[in-house]
Amino acid sequence: MKFQLNEGDLEEIDNIDDSGKLFAILISIMNRLRSPEGCIWDREQDHKTIKRNLIEETYEAVESIENKDYKGLKEELGDLLLQIVFHSQIAVENKEFDINEVLRGIIGKLIRRHPHVFKGMVLNSSDEILANWEDIKKKERKEKYEEPGSIFSGIPKSLPSLHYAYEIQNRASRLDFDWEEAIDIFKKIDEELAELKKEMGKRRKTQIPDEIGDVLFSIVNLGRHLGIDCEESLYGASKKFIKRFNFIEKYADENNLDFKKLPLKEKDKLWEIAKKRLP
């Protein structure tokens, strides 16, 4: 089936159920957009200029999941797929790699890292699977870099800090470097809070950021043990704060009160009203 890739082809494309054909058409479209007859903006981009788009599209997909907006998720996954194809097309032009190498790479990785599915290895729990996954990754790092490498290799430094901390702790736990019980982490949190309070008392501003980081790191550890994603928890708390703050501003306005000029005690009273009326 030959496409000139014009708007008139959309109806015909809607009738295609072969994902391979659709993927090939998407690659053809990106090739055309980057061609001399294509789009000026698309031709001007490189890996660095569109890296932010990759991050933004990922977050938009995650937000659709959070909102259970699956129609929106369908669209956002398409936008995310576009970024993968976009980077791959740039790589072809730079003679770095092509989309086939990307696909072969992930196919090979999935087969290698699932020997319990593809090679008959017997693993009886998620913990065993993750431990074996880490052993395989360690072997791959050694073959790739000709040295063992760190268990933390490959964790993107551009991750949100709470997620970054979670991944570090999670990987360490796979080597049995972890707290036995969640309750034990409370002692560590209390210890870190005491150190923070001590540095604040000494007014040693250079040490305070480190101590706050230690407190947050310990809280992420507690959340991980409880099966809670602190990134999501903080995001939820932030959304709740916005909702309540918007309420008290509106409440003040409806009662002819100048919110900004209200004493803090009066603002706190409004906040208590918001807590009772809003979840």
- Does 67 reside within a domain? yes
- Count of structural domains, the chain: 4
Q: Are residues 137 and 167 in the same domain?
A: no
Out of 193, 209, 228, a domain closes at 228
The predicted pLDDT at position 142 comes to 76
pLDDT band for 7, please (50, 70, 90 cuts).
low
| The pLDDT of residue 2 | 47
Q: Are 140 and 201 members of one domain?
A: no
Burial 109-137 (b: 16+ CB within 10 A, else e): eeeebbbeeeeeeebeeeeebeebbbeeb
Looking at the fold, whether 77 and 126 belong to one and the same domain comes out as no
- How much is the pLDDT for 5? 61
Q: How confident is the model at residue 210 (pLDDT cuts 50, 70, 90)?
A: very high
The residue from 91, 115, 139 where one domain ends is 115
Do 40 and 52 fall into the same domain?
yes
**pLDDT category, 127, cuts 50, 70, 90?**
confident
Do 127 and 76 share a structural domain?
no
Residues 234-251 have a mean pLDDT of 95
For 219-269, give the secondary structure using H, E and C: HHHHHHHCCCCHHHHHHHHHHHHHHHHHHHHHHHHHCCCCHHHCCHHHHHH
Residues 273 and 241 occupy one common structural domain:
yes
Would residue 100 count as lying in a domain?
A: yes
Percent above pLDDT 90 for the chain: 75
Residue 19 lies in a domain: yes
CATH at 104: 1.10.287.1080
* pLDDT recorded at residue 141: 78
pLDDT of residue 174: 81
Tokens of residue 33, six digits: 């957009």
Distances from the Cα of 68 to the Cα of 48, 75, 159, angstroms: 32, 13, 23
* First vs last C-alpha separation in the chain: 55
Q: Are 139 and 111 part of one and the same domain?
A: no
Residues 266 and 194 grouped into a single domain: no
Q: Are residues 75 and 140 in the same domain?
A: no
Asked if residue 158 and residue 140 are part of one domain, the reply reads no
**Assigned domain for 173 exists:** yes
146: pLDDT confidence band, cut at 50, 70 and 90? low
* Average pLDDT across the chain, whole number: 91
**For residues 17 and 194, what is the distance between their CA atoms, to the nearest angstrom?**
62
At residue 157, the pLDDT reads 85
Q: Alpha-carbon distance 134 to 151, whole Å?
A: 8
DSSP calls for 119-141: S-----SHHHHHHHHHHHHHHHH
Average pLDDT over residues 230-243: 93
Two structure tokens written together for 93 = 């032009």
147 pLDDT band (50/70/90 cuts)?
low
Look up the pTM and report it: 0.68
Tell me, yes or no, whether 215 and 270 share the same domain: no
Domain closes at, from 132, 149, 166? 149
Output 158 or 230, whichever has higher pLDDT. Answer: 230
Contact between residue 248 and residue 266 where contact means Cβ atoms under 8 Å apart:
no
Over residues 101-121, the mean pLDDT reads: 95
**What is the per-residue pLDDT across 128-139, written as a single tens digit (0 to 9) for each?**
998 898 889 888
The verdict on residue 89 lying in a domain is yes
Assigned domain for 1 exists: no
Do residues 68 and 158 share a domain? no
Structural domain includes residue 209: yes
Nearest of 218, 127, 180, 94 to residue 210 by alpha carbon: 218
Look at residue 4 in the predicted model and tell me its pLDDT. 57
For residue 255, the model assigns a pLDDT of 94
Q: For residue range 21-46, what is the model confidence (pLDDT) as tens digits? A: 999 999 999 999 999 999 999 999 99
Maximum Cα–Cα distance for the chain, whole Å? 75
Nearest residue to 48 via CA among 102, 106, 90, 95: 90
What percent of the chain stands above pLDDT 70?
Answer: 95
pLDDT band at 159 (very low <50, low <70, confident <90, very high): confident
Q: Where are the beta strands (DSSP E) in the chain?
A: none
pLDDT at 3 over 90: no
Tokens representing 185 are 């982490």
- 246-265 confidence digits (pLDDT tens): 999 999 999 999 999 999 99
Confidence band, pLDDT 50/70/90 cuts, at residue 232: confident
Full residue range of the structural domain in which residue 273 is found: 234-277
| 3-class state of residue 88 by DSSP | helix
Q: pLDDT at position 1, please?
A: 42
